[in-house]
Chains A and B, each alone.
Chain A
Amino acid sequence: MLRILVIEDDPEAASYLVKGLSELGHTADQAADGPAGLDMAHDRDYDILIVDRMLPKMDGLSVIQELRKQGNHTPVLILSALGQVDDRVKGLKAGGDDYLPKPYAFTELLARIEALARRPKSASQIETTYSVGDLTLDRMAHSCRRGETEIPLQPREFRLLEYLMQNAGQVVTRTMLLENVWEYHFDPQTNVIDVHISRLRGKIDKGFDTPLLHTIRGAGYTIRDAAH
Chain B
Amino acid sequence: MTRLTRFTRTTAFKLSLLYIAVFTVMSGVLLFYIADNTDNLMSEQVVQTVDSELKTLADVYVRGGVRDLVETIDTRSRHPDASLYLLVDFAGNALVGNIARLPTTVLEEADGGLRRVRYTRLGQDSEDVERQAMVRTFELRGGFRLLVGRDLGEQLRFANLLANAFRLWLVVVVVMAAITWLFVSRRVMKRIDEISATSRTIMQGELSGRLPVAGNDDEFDRLAVNLNTMLDRIEVLMQSMKDVTDNIAHDLKTPLTRLQTRTENALREAKGEEGYRGALEATLQESDQLLRIFNALLGIARVESMAPASVMEQADVNKLVEQVAELYEPLVEDEGGKLETDLPEDLMAECNRDLISQVLVNLIENALKYGRPETGDLRIRLGAREENGRVVLSVTDNGPGIPEKDQDRVKERFVRLEESRSEPGTGLGLSLVKAVARLHGGDLRFMNEDPGLSARIDLKPVKPDSSRSGHEQGGTAGQSGEGD
Contact = CB atoms under 8 A, between A and B. Distances in A.
Contacts of A190: 331, 365, 368
Contact of A186 (B354, B475, B480): B354
Contact of A199 (B298, B327, B330): B330
B482 A186 contact: no
Nearest to B479: A183
Contact of B478 (A156, A163, A166, A185): A185
Contacts, number: 82
A81 to B, nearest CB: 9
Given A84-B302, A103-B291, A92 B480 contact: yes
B295 A184 contact: no
Given A85-B311, A92-B478, A180-B480, A185 B323 contact: no
B480 A181 contact: no
Dominant secondary structure at the B interface: helix
Contacts of A199: 330
Interface string B282-317: 000000000110010011001000100011000000
B483 A188 contact: no
Contacts of B337: none
Nearest to B426: A189
B477 A183 contact: yes
A159 interface: yes
B330 A179 contact: no
Interface string B461-484: 000000000000001011111110
A221 interface: no
A191 B424 CA distance: 13
Interface stretch (B7-15, B219-227, B252-260, B355-363): B355-363
Interface string B318-334: 00000100111011001
A101 B475 CA distance: 21
Interface string A149-190: 000000010010011001000000000000111111110111
Contacts of A181: 483
Given A182-B323, A189-B425, A86 B475 contact: no
A97 B480 CA distance: 7
Interface residues of B, number: 35
B482 A98 contact: yes
A166 B484 CA distance: 11
A216 interface: no
A188 B298 CA distance: 16
A24 to B, nearest CB: 20
Nearest to A96: B480
Contacts of B331: 190-192, 195
A226 interface: no
Contacts of A101: 295
Interface string A1-19: 0000000000000000000
A92 B365 contact: no
Given A182-B327, A190-B365, A162 B480 contact: no
A180 B482 contact: yes
Contacts of B358: 184, 186
B330 A195 contact: yes
A196 interface: yes
Interface in B344-378: 352, 354-355, 357-358, 361, 365, 368
Interface string B148-160: 0000000000000
B330 A86 contact: no
A103 B292 CA distance: 10
A156 B325 CA distance: 12
Contacts of B295: 83, 101
A156 B475 CA distance: 14
Interface in A107-147: 115, 119
Nearest to A126: B484
A46 to B, nearest CB: 19
Nearest to A192: B331
A37 B361 CA distance: 40
Contacts of B311: 85-86
A85 B483 contact: no
Contact of A180 (B306, B334, B354, B483): B483
Given A84-B302, A85-B311, A88-B478, A162 B334 contact: no
Interface of B: 291-292, 295, 298-299, 302, 306, 310-311, 323, 326-328, 330-331, 334, 352, 354-355, 357-358, 361, 365, 368, 424-425, 429, 475, 477-483
* Nearest 4 interchain pairs by C-beta: A180-B483, A195-B330, A186-B358, A195-B331
18 contacts: A85-B354, A86-B311, A162-B483, A181-B483, A183-B475, A183-B477, A184-B327, A184-B354, A184-B358, A186-B299, A188-B361, A189-B424, A189-B425, A190-B331, A190-B365, A191-B331, A195-B331, A196-B327
